[in-house]
Structure 1
Amino acid sequence: MTTRVLVVDDQYLIRAGIVGLLQATDGMTVVGEAGDGEEAVAQAARLRPDVILMDIRMPRMNGIDAARRILADDTEEAGPPPRILMLTTFDLDEYVYRALRAGASGFLLKDTGPKRLLAAVAAVAGGDALFAPSVTRRLVEAFTRTSAPGEPVPVGRRPEIDQLTARETEVLRLAGTGRSNAEIAERLFISEATVKTHLNRTMAKLDLTSRAQAVVLAYETGLVAPGGGGPHAP
């Protein structure tokens, strides 16, 4: 099965390099390119890619707003929404947290090596929203201490959390601490498939589009405390 990728970056040489790498890889094809957020939104609607590699800082419309628009405009009739992998220059870029809140599946540094980039695209295409949960956890911890610029972080439980069963809440909390599905399964003495089922049900109930958003929500609602676990955690 071929993974269809849209590459979005305002720097031509970087975009061309990523496109060349993907096109030379079996099982991946580049269906389009875009140089800014507005073009990305239009291309995503027209081309229906499986994965979008999206630069964060671009003219006209930045990658965060573009990601939010793309995911908000998606409908069930059109099929599964694209997985969005953000591209950033710094591993603690001030906008990464906002990108995860917008529904991005994860992020990559622009100086990431070819093998890791390809592995990340493949993982995201396969439904693994966070190919490196511990990295995302560090980001969330950093930006829940001091809210992202222009976007204050709410504090305290949200009423919708009460929709979750006790087991769904526990799985969400463990996911928020950066544990993988395998680690959660081992801790709770259940199968990985059951963990995935709980996470999928949680995301559906809370209207989340990615596991990254679930991790962010775990912090924002107090299930997980920055720098440590939640109220029931070691």
Structure 2
Amino acid sequence: MRVLAIAPHPNDETIGPGGSIALHTDAGHQLTIGHLTNGERGSRTVTADELSRTRQAEAVRAAAVLGVPETQVRFLGLPDGGINPYDTSQFTAVIRLLRQVRPDLLYVPHPHDGAFDHEAAFALCWRAAGMAGSSNFGDYGPPHWVPTVLGYEVWQPIASPAYLCDITTVVDRKVTALECYDSQAPAAKGAGQSSQVGPGGALLSAWRGVTTTGGHREAFAVLRLGALP
């Protein structure tokens, strides 16, 4: 199985479907992580250029923890805070990624994930996933239809998730991967900024376990269903 997880910023792929990514790699599936932006606006204390380089390096380390090699981590370099589903260059960049990876399963932020960049990322990826299977935009590789698309949660819990993945056996790796993102710790980001490092990143999956059948679970909106692993 070929799987592509698209993140608006480095660390979203771990906060959201990080445990599921680890399970895929453990099962021998081919994983690719695509970062739309470098998250260069994610600090009050570090310049955008420096933070861009730092977060790319952090993303590579986090991916390795989850079992994804550096060669399978892609950075599209879209502007942090400027994801735009109506920008042709951004739209075709995602089409190109989809046609290169040719995933059987695509992870994207769910449609109502709260943060502007996350909802814009969903709209961009959903539009691209619809057109990637068309013969249009032929300059960007042969068409590819993505059979299954799952929406993950980061900033806004999914009201009625249709699919829950038990990540209890790999939750420690999810936390360890989040710890790779030192730049997103409060001491690095500046006062008043959110913390997405450490055990706190697993609290949503713990709550999902508490409200269902125990353990840790990641919740998904089923946006398109071909086949689940």
Same fold (TM over 0.5): no
Structure with max Cα Rg: 1
TM-score (norm 2): 0.30
Q: Which has the higher helix share?
A: 1
